[in-house]
Chains A and B, each alone.
Chain A
Amino acid sequence: MNLQHCEKETLVIEAARRGYWEEELRAHLVECSECADTASAGQFLREMQEIDLAEVKVPSAGWMWWRAQLMAKRAAAERATEPITLVEQIAGACGVLSVVGIFIWQWHAIRAFFSALGGTWQSGSYAAYTLVASRVQESSLLVLVSAGALFVVLGFAAYLIWAEE
């Protein structure tokens, strides 16, 4: 591509921006097609800007300052509550995982408990129910309580650490 460059191009752009043409420059536009194109493009765009500047109503500087402050505060509030939300989510996930883990770990005991419970309902034998229930309680109740307490304490500790940070 042949990039023709006229040394008066800068002057032409400036004249188009200001809307003021000296005689010499105006005469140059007749001779130089490159500058004539630059002049017509520049004048066209300047006219568009003049329309905008005359008609647009932008908010006041005070309003924009207040708005920027508000946006900054909102962003800061979101950042400040991020750790709290995160810890809440972690604590929730820990709770769900612990319940699932205990179910998997003690599945046989739980199954035996519910089987005995079903059998008890069918047979109506209160003694059988008491026996099975006491066995299940002996083997797993302590573990269940311990694990639950551990997760609660861990979640609370994590929350305190994150909140302080």
Chain B
Amino acid sequence: MTMRRDITLTEVQQLGHALDAAVETFQMDEQTFRMFYDRTARLLWSYLYRVGGNNAALADDLMQESYYRFLRIRLPEMDQEYMKNYLFRIGTNLLRDHWRQGKMEPMPLNMEPASARPDGASEKQFVESASTGGAAEEFQARSDMRRVLDKMKPRERELLWLAYVEGSSHKEIAAIVGLKEQSIRTMLFRARNKLAGMLRGRGLVSRAE
């Protein structure tokens, strides 16, 4: 049962002050945020998408939440790279919270909705519309790549992505994923060997060009 009552003038004023104060709590101005966002948004989305099990809707949600939390946190003066690492740390924690709550089960490839694919087309639609063999081959190659990454553990995906895609140092990775720096080296070594082994097994090893 809900109770309704009239709101008083004092309450309206208080609400107004609280709302104004909420906006003032952002740690950076709009212009600075725009520059930071343009530099990091796609990188963060890609990280959340691949580490999160190729779920575009999840990546969208967590990216929004990551930037919101980033803006709300009071941080000391820091350079752009440190800010980016902090943003990735927030995203990583959000992903982990999501897994803890049991919300995410990585979807099998043939059940993934069309909207969850970067190319926006379902597997069946894509194959039917591919008039040339090249498109179908490319799609097959992408599917193989996704299957390989799906076989990695979330933690392994985090470490590999941060080290080999973002180029983060062991110290930075430790800060982002919340582990000791000494552990990163061993875990990364194992994850890399596992990935390289799978790539060899599927014939996906590409030569340096």
Give me the interface of A with B, judged by CB distance under 8 Å: 1, 3, 13-17, 19, 21, 25-26, 29, 36-49, 51-53, 55-56, 58-59, 61-62, 64-65, 67-69, 71-73, 75-77, 79-81, 84, 88, 92, 163-164
Contact = CB atoms under 8 A, between A and B. Distances in A.
Contacts, number: 150
Given A3-B185, A43-B206, A88-B3, A16 B164 contact: yes
A148 to B, nearest CB: 19
A13 B167 contact: yes
Contact of A3 (B45, B161, B189, B195): B189
Contact of A58 (B14, B63, B142): B63
B37 interface: yes
Contact of A41 (B67, B142, B164, B167): B164
Contacts of A45: 50, 160-161, 164-165
The 9 closest A-B pairs by CB, nearest first: A76-B22, A37-B196, A52-B46, A61-B34, A55-B118, A72-B22, A80-B18, A61-B37, A42-B164
Q: For chain A, what secondary structure do more than half of its interface residues adopt (helix, strand, loop), or is it mixed? A: helix
A46 B167 CA distance: 11
Given A61-B38, A77-B18, A51 B167 contact: no
Contacts of B15: 77, 80-81
B21 A76 contact: yes
Contacts of A51: 118, 142
A107 to B, nearest CB: 28
A52 B42 contact: yes
Contacts of B41: 58-59, 61, 64
Contacts of A64: 33, 37, 41, 64, 67
Interface of B: 3, 8, 10-11, 14-15, 18-19, 21-23, 25-26, 30, 33-34, 37-38, 41-43, 45-46, 49-50, 63-64, 67-68, 71-72, 118-119, 142, 145, 148-149, 160-161, 163-165, 167, 185-186, 189-190, 192-193, 195-196, 199-200, 204-206, 208-209
A40 B199 contact: yes
Given A44-B148, A56-B42, A81-B15, 19 more contacts: A1-B190, A14-B167, A21-B209, A37-B193, A38-B164, A40-B200, A48-B149, A48-B165, A52-B50, A58-B41, A61-B38, A64-B33, A65-B34, A72-B25, A72-B68, A88-B3, A163-B11, A163-B14, A164-B10
A17 B165 contact: yes
Nearest to B17: A80
Contacts of A42: 164-165
Contacts of A44: 145, 148, 195, 199, 204, 206
A52 B45 contact: yes
B142 to A, nearest CB: 7
B33 A65 contact: yes
A53 B193 CA distance: 26
Given A52-B50, A64-B64, A43 B23 contact: no
A41 B163 CA distance: 10
Contacts of A88: 3
A77 B34 contact: no
A46 B42 CA distance: 14
A130 B148 CA distance: 90
Given A3-B186, A77-B19, A65 B163 contact: no
Nearest to A21: B208
